[in-house]
Amino acid sequence: MPPPPPPSDSTDARVLREQVAALYATMPASTAVDALLAWGLCAVMYWQTRNAGILVWLGLHFVQILRYPLIHAYFRDPQAAGRSAFWARRHWRELLYYSITWGLAPWLFLPADSMPLTALLMLTMLGLCSGGVPSVAPRWPSVLAFVVPMTVGLITALAWRGDAIHLFLATCAVLHVGATLHFAHAQHTLLTTALVTRFEKEALADALAHQVQITQQASEEKTRFFAAASHDLRQPLHAIALFGVVLERELQGHASQPHAQRLMRAVNALSGSLDTMLDVSQLDAGVVQAQPQAVPLRGVLLAVQALAATRADERGLQLRVRTTPLWVRTDPQLLQRLLANLVENAIKYTPAGGVLVVARARSAEAWLDVVDTGVGIAPEHHQRVFQEFYQVHNPGRDRAQGLGIGLSIVRRLSLLLDHPVELHSQPGRGSRFRVRLPLADAPAGLPAPNAAPNAAPDVAPDAAPDAAPDAALARLHPAGPLPRHVLLLDDEADITDALAAFLHGEGIATAAARDEPEALQRLDQAAAAGQPFDALLCDYRLAAGADGLDAALRLRARAGGTPRLLLITGETAPERLHRVHDSGVPVLFKPVQPERLLQALAELNTTSAAPAPSRR
């Protein structure tokens, strides 16, 4: 878990910093306006009264010019943000002196016999008070320092006169000051609340970003863990599967042959589980890319029916697939993969009755429904069933009901294809999964095919572990002659021994090497003997962290472009899946089904040495 972000200033400290910055930001303009106002007032008053007190007051006010260096000092201070309390106190002191100076004005030159000049002075001071409040509203102590001394001086000077008119003016001033302080406090509260809210939101955003970072790191750690665990499981299982085939072959007609067959069923079940988890890794890594095109739904539906019919028969269910002339825009392989998982899931959780697959046109879309008469799903589980390893009706984790990954693969394929999947289900009333696809126009003069496409999905459905391999995926048989001489490059002796034993039974001579130098030596020896290798089977991860892909490419270059390469790996980390995919070298993922291995070798033997697309 990453360490939490360094603690920031408290909210109060950040609010104070912003308040002080706002106070000093208004000082240049307010000081200039105040100076002009003071000089103008003094000029008028002195012209009318020739009162020497005006000159004394003007001298006191002249000290306000010293505020300019104070302003510049604040803006030049590189540590001003961290010394907000210091600059707040300095501002408060200067403001208090300024307000006291204005509060002395009525005592020094308030005319006793000129009501117009009295009104002018009173209007100037109260106007200055009201107009200056917004500039000091960020700090309440600043509001009090600005308003109180100035207005107290004015009110007491008026009241000191004692006559009715001056007492009335003093009362008016009191009311004005009360209203000014009321609105100033409201403005201060509003500004402070806005700042507090802003910083609390920023703190929440920082905390959320930190939690997102933790979640991302946890996800990356989970991916690395599963990749490492998957690799460590695939290595011995790969050897067990090959040795099992050899054992099954040698026990033909022997009383122990059923035991060997049961062993292989268990191995195939575990291999299927690992392959399903590999599907998730490939989809998450972005290795699988959609290639949308106009596709006849009939072919996809027939292909899914062929895959699922045996499984449905084994469970005594009726599988009905209604073909359709509709064409849709999709990736046929990925759609077949998505639909196969939905049908397999329906069969798995339908104890009696059947499963119906039907498509219909709705506006510009095709609705592809998979409907079952199974146990159903409560509404509160509708979202969670698309999560990895979540199974509503399998609390005991019965492996006969799969791993709980099939619908999570459906969700990923749905997002990749941009085909929304909807679930409608009630407990005891079955389920309906609906896939919404965009309709497409059939190519002119090209009718919908009457048979399923030849290609099978890149990945197998999330079949029940105990299902026979033939029920989940048709076995592959070599489509051509096999290579006669194969070099095996793998640092694990059990795997090379298992491969050698299996290939020997197919009439293929092998030689094994643990690392690149030994493999190079084997290549040179074979070339010298006039028996060069036809193919090189190489593990991705060799001893001491050596890169098997790089080693295989160097060995092929050293041998003049031969032998042909086939990469066999147990790696499922996203970055390595990308690298293998981008290399163009054919790849099989451990544990490899023997039939797939033979098919891949036959394809190598009938193609040029140029890299071919990767395969499972």
Question: What percent of the chain is predicted at pLDDT more than 70?
Answer: 80
Report the SS3 class of residue 37: helix
Continuous H helices in 251-327:
257-285, 297-314
pLDDT for 471 beyond 50: no
Mean of pLDDT values over 240-255: 76
DSSP-assigned states of every residue in 150-185: HHHHHHHHHHHH-SHHHHHHHHHHHHHHHHHHHHHH
pLDDT for res 72: 77
pLDDT for res 466: 38
Helix H or strand E encompassing 557? helix 548-558
**From edge to edge, which strands make up the β-sheet containing 354-362?**
318-321, 354-362, 365-372, 431-438, 421-425
Which residue from 489, 476, 484, 562 is spatially nearest to 522, judged by alpha carbons? 489
Sign of the torsion formed by the C-alpha atoms of 435, 438, 441 and 443? negative
| pLDDT tier at 390, thresholds 50, 70, 90 | low
Kind of pairing between the strands at 564-569 and 587-589: parallel
Report the SS3 class of residue 58: helix
Least confident of 178-182, 248-252, 415-419, 601-605: 248-252
| pLDDT tier at 288, thresholds 50, 70, 90 | low
pLDDT for res 613: 41
pLDDT for res 388: 60
pLDDT for 364 beyond 70: yes
| pLDDT tier at 455, thresholds 50, 70, 90 | very low
| Most confident option among 166-170, 381-385, 402-406, 605-609 | 166-170
DSSP 456: P
pLDDT for res 177: 92
Q: Could you write out the three-class secondary structure of 95-106?
A: HHHHHHHHHHHH
Cβ atoms of 175 and 154 closer than 8 Å: no
Mean of pLDDT values over 253-257: 76
Cβ atoms of 591 and 241 closer than 8 Å: yes
Q: How many helices (H) and strands (E) does the chain have?
A: 17, 12
- Can the peptide bond before residue 563 be classed as cis, meaning omega within 30 degrees of 0? yes
pLDDT for 398 beyond 60: no
379 HSE (CA, 13 A, CB side) = 0
pLDDT tens digits, 476-491:
355 578 888 999 998 8
Report the SS3 class of residue 330: strand
Mean of pLDDT values over 484-513: 87
